[in-house]
Amino acid sequence: MIKVGLSSFTKSTPFRKNKEMAVKKEFKMKNYTTDISAERSILEIEKLLTLFGAETVIKKYTAEGRVDSLMFQLQEEAFKLPANIKGVEEVLYKSLRSAHSGDGMKRREERSYRVAWRIIKDWTHAQLSLIASGQAQPKEIFLGYMFDGKRTLFQKYEADKLLAQKTGKA
């Protein structure tokens, strides 16, 4: 039996010092060519969630009128699925710079918005398929997105970790 310690794992993972994933230029993001509107993807997510018992799905909007995140309740727990449009835009245009360098700023933002929500739709469908097939429980799948009304469990974890580092308890 070969034991692999956590230290050997962290040495081989492709993370930068600031803990962001290093994405190679050749990477083709899923759904990067989609023409399906973000609104359609969001409606499909809502439908999937209601098929699994979500009675309430709330959309949070930005000042520009775009959906920023979806909040829903499933099995008496609240969850928040955010869309990181800027993150999608960064990877999308970094990897496709030559093919889409002429895209205007508004067009880039719109495309990134569509792609982000389509990725979330596909991810949600895949996760719900794991639940439907008995391979996982909803809380197991959505744990990082559990929402207390202010922040997700992942956001709390990151804030607590940062606080521990600042106070020297890490």
Q: Taking phi first (over 0 means left), then psi (-120 to 50 degrees means alpha), and beta for anything else, what does residue 21 get?
A: beta
11 occurs within a structural domain: no
9 occurs within a structural domain: no
78 occurs within a structural domain: yes
12 occurs within a structural domain: no
Give me the domain span that covers residue 127: 24-167
pLDDT, averaged across the chain: 82
**Tally of domains within the chain:** 1
17 occurs within a structural domain: no
Per-residue CA distances from 65 to 57, 68, 87, 151 (Å): 17, 9, 19, 21
pLDDT at position 98 is 45
37 occurs within a structural domain: yes
Run of H or E residues at 82 = strand 77-82
Residue 5, pLDDT > 60, answer no
